[in-house]
Structure 1
Amino acid sequence: MKSEQESQFTSAFQPSFDEISPSLYETTFVVVDLETTGGSHNSAAITEIGAVKVRAGEIVGEFQTLVNPESPIPPFITVLTGITDAMVIAAPKLGEAIFSFLEFVGSSKDSVLVAHNAPFDIGFLKAACAKLEISWPSYQVLDTAKIARYVVTRDEAPNCKLSTLSTFFGATTNPDHRALSDARATVDVFHGILDRLGSYGVKTLEELKSFSTRITSAQRSKKYLAEGLPNTPGVYIFRDEAGIPLYIGTTRNLRNRVRSYFTAAETRKRIHDMISLAHSLDVIQTATIIEAEVRELRLIGEKQPRFNRRSKFQAKSLWIKLTKEAFPRLVAIRGAKGLDDESGWAGPFNGRDESARAIEALYEVTQIRQCKPRITLSSMKSASPCALFDMKRCGAPCIGQESIDSYSSHVTAIHQSLHIDSRPILNSLNERMKELANQERFEEAAEVRNRLGALIRGSARAQSIRSLTRVKELIAAIATSIDTWEFVVIRHGKLAASATAKSDNYKEVVESLKLTAEVVIDNGEILPASHHEEVEVLLRYLNQEGIRIVEIDGIWALPTFGSAAARSEIEKVRAQVGANSYKEDFANSVDRFAQRSTN
């Protein structure tokens, strides 16, 4: 039994104020939103700061300021936010704006920062403080996007974007990509989230902070699924009670990766939902990590697991091609079936918008027809030309104004650009972009730039993919340690076999691989034996530093003046742009503004 003195001491003990987590009702939150010139705080700058201070469910203050980024605002950012160079020329510079903002927020003991997709906004604010050589106050930070994933189901809202959640929670302010408006909308979303968290028993700041990093009961109860796994490369498959795959993944170390799903480090709500349904786990050990990656792609495409997001619709990727008819036209299609080397094609593209931009890029500098009907001798008698004929952007083959031989020059130019020499069309697009920029039609110039980029990316991917699928057999190796090598056999763009071997017996391993590797037949299609994602995984593997070509049956090469070369040149130019080049650009933009004001 405790002595009387001990009992008195115990009953008299009280925790300090620092040890008591404040209730949410007592906590002051500052909801912040930024507008910037780009997506990375390493290369972009802040253009606007908006913040709303709330306490006990009431707004107690607001803060808003434009910020002079000391660099031109890209046209697409101006279109998105409405913030122009003219608006920020007289605005406070970064130092003044940051000091005013920090003064509004107060100390880290007074306020808690809240943001939607907090790593973005807080990342820019921390980078700004580092640039100004001031210490960042150790604010506690809450991310409404992260917490919302735990309290809003996919049936209620398809995603956790601010616009989606604002509509769902009935926000009084619509987010419009202006800092203060978005901060006000985030306040309403935050209050909606707090209302829901009440049913989870979340009443204090500490409980709210730990809510999105907690280990669920399903994670605790199903931790046994990670027991006894090997620490080798491979594929893991979570299955439900009926044995249907829920999620398929790949890793270099099966034991460590699968264990991570049952720790607090796994915060994705989608994965938590998957684990709650998981009943069993299968693993497939592989000789190499590249084999594991390829097996994962194939299994996802075949099994269509509900909790995987990428690679489920490899056969439905978007491509563009020239149709086979007397007067071909450009079309976007789903799937690579029907593509061949005789007609022009490019892809795959990341979405319908990207493929449409690539087609529009070719429309911009060629007179390929844009109408859809098939042109025949009988159709020419009743057809009438469209406005493009009057604009001299089409030769009107629909009414017989352009012969098949004459029209074929446009087709040949596109085919050459997509497969052999991209310079004529890319140079024409560059000239068009410069012409628009010189006329200060910056939004149109930016659109041409986007079209040019889409065309380069799509045709470069096509040329890279076809360069590998033409090769009958390629054996490559890479060192994994001082005396161990990894070997792969690739046939027509498909991984046929892989293995590891010691330096002293690699010849025997290579011969064995050649004999036991999967037989792959070239069926004449651009993807004879696999989907494009597998080919691109293999291309990344083959292009890594240290790879060695052991044997090759065929020619693996890209067009000297193809789009792949153009993409490489663009990347080099971007890498060479100096950190201070923005000063000259900004000075030029100020001069242009002054000239417009004078005129």
Structure 2
Amino acid sequence: MSAAPVPPPPRWESQRSFDQLGRPLSGVTFTVVDLETTGGSAAAGSMITEIGAVKVRGGEVLGEFQTLVNPHTAIPAFIAVLTGISNSMVVDAPPIESALPAFLEFAAGTVLVAHNAPFDVGFLQHFAEQQGRPWPGFEVVDTARLARRVITRDDAPNCKLSSLARVFRSSTEPNHRALSDARATVDVLHGLMERLGGQGVQTLEELQTFTGRVTAAQRRKRHLADGLPHAPGVYLFRDEQEKVLYVGTSKDLRTRVRSYFTASETRSRMGEMVRLAARVEAIECATPLEAQVRELRLIGQHKPGYNRRSRHPEKQTFVKLTREPWPRLSLVHKVLDDEADYLGPFGSKRTAERCLAALHETFPVRQCSDRFGQRPSRTPCVLAELGRCLSPCDGSTDHLTYGAVVRRLRDTLLERPDDVVEVVNARMAALAADERFEEAGTHRDRLAAFVRASARTQRLTSLTACAEVVAARKEDDGRWAVHVVRHGRLAAAGVIPPGAEAHRFVDHLRASAETVIPGLGPVPAASAEETEKVLKWLESPGVRLIEVDGSWTCPVGGATRHLATAVVEPAPFDEDGGPPARSRRQHITC
């Protein structure tokens, strides 16, 4: 076993941050590795017989590693003929238990490169796991995969190492010996990097994600990302007339925006957008949550043509239980100051109609849109004749009976959905028993729409009812992110600086936060999507409540507990399940 001295790792290898993303290829240290084995699968019992590796940086060889490995099993004859490694050659070689640690020490802090990397790296990971040794989590570049995106049939008939070595005039001919093949792979890597340099690929990230589908015209615009910071925030693509084309968010603005021009962005719509882009504007944000919220607000404000989601937060539908002598359910697009009860908002009218159908199936309130006095005298409709309406229009019911049904309906909308769940489930079971599966599926969709909407509304109103919630969480970088939320709207965000007095910082953040005057309905101060993102963060592990002005409450018999059984595919806002219930109403305090 032999290994050349390993130089001290570059500074970025010992301490990485956002500033080290997008590293120039000239400064990256690569360990190009090749293995010889007794077969094609470590999981099937094949063993490593030789490890060869070359460490390079900036075109300079820094060291080499080579060792035979005793597989403690006979080498198949055809493998011995192919590689020239015989049983006698490996008798005195170290076992993999000794060879692997030595290789990992040689390669520490570098980027692994291999031709058909899943094979070589897969073997190394397998034996590391077998030895109970933690895998270092190397970044990996696969020259075979990269070549398939760069080399054409005019260059070579295939992307085998021997073919590529001829294309790039490798100084070492591959011969199925580990070190020779690793040396040849070094020349192939440098040849590929040289060819890609002309297409604007200059960093490790761009090399790893390169695809030929990104045009040269797109790559020429990569300078638009040069002035952007390595920080979380929102980016806006603008055309020559300063019209916003697209809004996105990222934890690292510069790296994300560069990807549109260089490597990993392959969506055809985004390619079209990039061709139109003349400038990229960046807005730095204190925290990722602030970036997500700003993105939603900017999309709603500018309605960019290349964003598909969140462009029309004003287009929403509510199910409304009216306040009148004979209340009814209706679909509306706006919440009014009329003391009515609202369920929603729904993202589409179709979903709202399904929810409405589930409610009408359970509660026989009137479905006509006419206004009735205290003592109406009209002809009953078809629904009344079918027994699906109490028929106040012809005096078939009194205020006491109708009012009792309305109270149960209101309780279902606001707190307990049990009546709807029981009725629709019974209907589904009856239809399934009669093998009317299509109709049963319709009722299933109605129930799912109702349960989702009810759970969503209860979770939203539990937060929007609070005048202020101040919370903090320790982020991955060790700093504390603080958010001030008022009536479900993100009013301020900040990160406590190192050495700062936490209470003083929080007091200052609260004092400088946006003043929020709530409007009407379940989401009185922000879009439903924004409040959901805030809720998701507040309910994430590690969040500490600092101040709560109001009661953050959730009904014990709420709709969340029915999501698992009533909803086949939970909607995004269901994934956290809401605060756990311990009483009729749970009060969450700091």
Q: TM-score range by the shorter chain?
A: 0.5 to 0.7
Q: Aligned partners of 1:332 and 1:255: how far apart in 2?
A: 45
Q: Aligned partners of 2:418 and 2:470: how far apart in 1?
A: 33
Q: Aligned partners of 1:271 and 1:339: how far apart in 2?
A: 43
Whether contact under 8 Å (1:361, 1:452) holds in the other structure is yes
Indicate the larger mover: 384-393 or 529-538.
Answer: 384-393
Letter in 2 for 1:356: E
Match of 2:492 in 1: 497
Q: Aligned partners of 2:289 and 2:215: how far apart in 1?
A: 33
The superposition leaves residues 54-89 of structure 1 with CA deviations (integer Å, 9 ceiling, x where unpaired) of xxxxxxxxxxxxxxxxxxxxxxxxxxxxxxxxxxxx
1:362 Cα deviation (Å)? 0.8
DSSP-derived class of the 2:407 partner: helix
Given candidates 340, 345, 359, the residue that maps to 1:362 is 359
Letter in 2 for 1:480: E
TM-score, normalised on structure 1? 0.57
1:326 Cα deviation (Å)? 1.9
The superposition leaves residues 540-593 of structure 1 with CA deviations (integer Å, 9 ceiling, x where unpaired) of 11121222212211111211111123225657999xxxxxxxxxxxxxxxxxxx
1:248 Cα deviation (Å)? 0.9
Given candidates 410, 421, 426, the residue that maps to 1:431 is 426
Superposition map of 1:208-357 within 5 A: 213-335=212-334, 337-338=335-336, 342-357=339-354
Letter in 2 for 1:364: E
Q: Aligned partners of 2:453 and 2:331: how far apart in 1?
A: 12
Whether contact under 8 Å (1:213, 1:265) holds in the other structure is no
Whether contact under 8 Å (1:558, 1:564) holds in the other structure is no
Whether contact under 8 Å (2:351, 2:449) holds in the other structure is yes
1:471 Cα deviation (Å)? 0.6
DSSP-derived class of the 1:261 partner: helix
Whether contact under 8 Å (2:336, 2:520) holds in the other structure is no
Whether contact under 8 Å (2:344, 2:522) holds in the other structure is no
1:231 Cα deviation (Å)? 0.9
Superposition map of 1:147-546 within 5 A: 213-335=212-334, 337-338=335-336, 342-376=339-373, 380-381=376-377, 383-481=378-476, 483-501=478-496, 505=500, 507=502, 508-546=504-542
Q: Aligned partners of 2:337 and 2:353: how far apart in 1?
A: 18
Q: Which has the higher helix share?
A: 1
Letter in 2 for 1:307: Y
Superposition map of 1:115-154 within 5 A: none
TM-score, normalised on structure 2? 0.58
Whether contact under 8 Å (1:321, 1:339) holds in the other structure is no
Q: Aligned partners of 2:393 and 2:414: how far apart in 1?
A: 27
1:516 Cα deviation (Å)? 1.1
Match of 2:559 in 1: 563
Match of 1:547 in 2: 543
Aligned length, in residue pairs: 361
Whether contact under 8 Å (1:238, 1:280) holds in the other structure is yes
Letter in 1 for 2:542: G
Q: Aligned partners of 1:432 and 1:445: how far apart in 2?
A: 8
Q: Aligned partners of 1:572 and 1:307: how far apart in 2?
A: 31
Letter in 1 for 2:250: T
1:267 Cα deviation (Å)? 1.7
DSSP-derived class of the 2:364 partner: coil
Whether contact under 8 Å (2:469, 2:549) holds in the other structure is yes
1:438 Cα deviation (Å)? 2.6
- C-alpha spacing 1:551/1:568, structure 2 compared with 1 (3 Å): farther
Q: Aligned partners of 2:388 and 2:218: how far apart in 1?
A: 62
DSSP-derived class of the 2:556 partner: coil
- C-alpha spacing 1:467/1:515, structure 2 compared with 1 (3 Å): same
Structure possessing the higher relative contact order (Cα contacts under 8 Å, 6 or more residues apart):
1
Q: Aligned partners of 1:338 and 1:516: how far apart in 2?
A: 31
- C-alpha spacing 1:300/1:506, structure 2 compared with 1 (3 Å): farther
Percent identity (aligned): 40
Letter in 2 for 1:358: C
Structure 2 residues without counterparts, runs of 5 or longer: 1-148, 150-210, 571-590
Letter in 1 for 2:259: S
Aligned-residue CA RMSD (Å): 2.5
Match of 1:194 in 2: none
Q: Aligned partners of 2:348 and 2:478: how far apart in 1?
A: 44
Letter in 2 for 1:437: A
Q: Aligned partners of 1:356 and 1:320: how far apart in 2?
A: 9
The superposition leaves residues 181-217 of structure 1 with CA deviations (integer Å, 9 ceiling, x where unpaired) of xxxxxxxxxxxxxxxxxxxxxxxxxxxxxxx952224
- Stretches of 4+ aligned residues off by more than 3 angstroms: 502-506, 522-526, 568-574
Q: Aligned partners of 1:454 and 1:550: how far apart in 2?
A: 35
Indicate the larger mover: 316-325 or 400-409.
Answer: 400-409
The superposition leaves residues 356-387 of structure 1 with CA deviations (integer Å, 9 ceiling, x where unpaired) of 11000011111011222222369x44x32122
